[in-house]
Chains A and B, each alone.
Chain A
Amino acid sequence: MSSGQATPAATGRPEDITAVPVRRPGRWVAAAIVLVIAVAVVRSLATNPNFQWGVVGEYLFDGRILHGLRVTIELTVIAMAIGIVLGVLLAIMRLSPNWLVSWASSFYIWFFRGTPVLVQLLFWYNVAALYPKLALGIPFGPAFIHADANKLITPFTAAILGLGLNEGAYMAEIVRAGIISVDPGQADAAQSLGMTRLQTMRRIVLPQAMRVIIPPTGNETISMLKTSSLASVIVVTELLYASQLIYSVNFKTIPLLITASFWYIVCTSVLYVGQYYLERYYGRGAREREQTPLQRIRAGLLSFRHQPPR
């Protein structure tokens, strides 16, 4: 504060209370315990040779690991994109006045939330056993394009389908919660201005629903990044499977798992920052905009520099 050096008398403000603080021995004990545990953990990390930190460093930027990282990111981005689009569609379907449309959406959500995503992944991986030939055409009529399911559904597409379709079910509930959180008066106002239902949804309801939708969607994205490691069981060489391939040869299991974990944590941290700014954007108009941490640091540095010496 710039008024820091002003005396209370000068500003006419009554003097602040100075009192002897209450002693809180419990807090000191808790802090001591935390400190001891922290030191033990750090010491163990530093001195236990089995961590093989040198090996971790060696493989951190290994081509196979980086390729695995790329596949993990691709899986996450594509599966989340499918999940979000599908989620919006399913949420609007669920709120439809037509009961068959609404019921179809409920059924989809019930089914995909009711089965483990690992089972769904294995299912898509083996879909050729169920439908050896896939065809595109008129239902119950002639088909125009034929394809061999085994060639069309590669492990990567199976992973995309499994993760994306499963995510759609969860996103649908998140989007629906967002839509019904918006005051119905907003739709009244939009419609009284002559907007159609689609315009009302797009311009008025969804942008406000975003405030409710974004935080859990961020969680879902972070969760998806980690869940994508399940694709390792259907031989997609994402980050985890890439590490497994290396340690199955050189038996340096722990350092390679640490390498994979390092990249997962880097990615989730980036997502966390992205989520913060996205929430800020969609929160506009809702409250006084607070400064971002970066702005706060910059403002802090400036005010520090401008403070006159005592």
Chain B
Amino acid sequence: MNAPMVKAEAVHKRFGRLEVLKGVSLEVAPGEVMCLLGPSGSGKSTLLRCINHLEKINSGRLSVDGELVGYRQVGEKLHELRESEVALKRSQIGMVFQHFNLFPHMTALENVTCAPLRVKNEPRDRADSRARELLGQVGLGDKVDAYPSQLSGGQQQRVAIARALAMEPKLMLFDEPTSALDPELVGDVLAAMQQLARDGMTMIVVTHEMGFAREVADTVVFMDAGVVVESGKPADVLSNPSHERTRAFLSKVL
């Protein structure tokens, strides 16, 4: 088996006195799609934010593509990475948020080209044509000049996916990408994600969409109260959970 794309070993994260992650360990192989399930407050979103170093972990080890997140190991000591180094690593990890977080003062096209232009210093014509291609792939070829406020939630989320893909990431993190959407708009976003999974992208998806987890995920991880309760193939975890806690959660959401 290949070296893991993401490896978490006993990751702890505290906010003040509140311990959100209490020793999370997991591995995601390249090309794998992992769905994180669990009740709210179980630490799923925090784990995603830690992988992108939007939050610093308090203890444990977290690495992406064989390199520590946020630190450099020199002998026994850990050195904090400089801001530019952190930014470079983040640019290789795409993230999609629950509330889309599109830049409202930019058109769909500008949202997608913004990072390639500013972070990668790509020439404008290449960034533009690539952005049009990506927006076309998520079914928004006719909305390139629309501002986020002129788009529906589902359209905004698909622009956000295109925006993340424009940086050609090696890993995509989805933080409840469909939770803020009207039920009838969820399908288009899930379809875009499914296509991405089929193309071989490594993905970690925090979601409550059991159908998506069952169909697309290679691994399903159930978290509760800051720890991984159980993980395995979707058929096993979703249909035949071995833990009482997982069973109780699934009986409520399925």
Contacts and interface: CB of A to CB of B under 8 A. Distances in A.
Interface stretch (B85-93, B136-144, B186-194, B205-213): B85-93
Contacts of A208: 103-105
Nearest to A193: B115
A249 B224 CA distance: 86
A96 to B, nearest CB: 14
Interface stretch (A15-23, A117-125, A195-203, A219-227): A195-203
Contact of B105 (A183, A193, A197, A285): A285
A188 B101 contact: yes
A33 B146 CA distance: 51
B78 interface: no
A193 B101 contact: no
Interface string B83-112: 110011011111101010111111100000
A194 interface: yes
A88 B94 CA distance: 31
A183 B97 CA distance: 13
Interface residues of A, number: 23
Given A191-B54, A284-B147, A285-B149, A196 B87 contact: yes
B48 to A, nearest CB: 10
Contacts of B149: 285-287
A186 B87 contact: no
A305 B196 CA distance: 55
Contacts of B106: 285
A53 B200 CA distance: 82
B227 interface: no
Contacts of A203: 114, 118
Contact of A193 (B99, B148, B163): B163
- The residue in B87, B94, B148, B160 that gathers the most chain A C-beta atoms within 10 A of its C-beta is B87
B164 interface: yes
A183 B99 CA distance: 11
Interface in B46-64: 49, 52, 54
Interface in A270-310: 282, 284-287
A185 interface: yes
A189 B99 CA distance: 10
A35 B190 CA distance: 65
B167 interface: yes
Contacts of A11: none
A285 B167 contact: no
A204 interface: yes
Contacts of B93: 192
A207 interface: yes
Contacts of B104: 208, 285-286
B3 interface: no
A194 B103 contact: no
Contacts of B101: 183, 185-186, 188-189
A185 B99 contact: yes
B119 interface: yes
A244 to B, nearest CB: 46
Contact of A194 (B87, B107, B147): B87
A186 B107 CA distance: 15
Interface of B: 49, 52, 54, 83-84, 87-88, 90-95, 97, 99, 101-107, 114-115, 118-119, 147-149, 160, 163-164, 167
The 6 closest A-B pairs by CB, nearest first: A194-B91, A189-B101, A285-B147, A193-B115, A192-B95, A185-B101
23 contacts: A185-B99, A185-B101, A186-B101, A188-B54, A189-B95, A189-B97, A189-B101, A189-B103, A191-B54, A191-B87, A193-B119, A194-B87, A194-B88, A195-B87, A199-B119, A204-B103, A207-B105, A208-B105, A284-B147, A285-B104, A285-B107, A285-B149, A286-B104
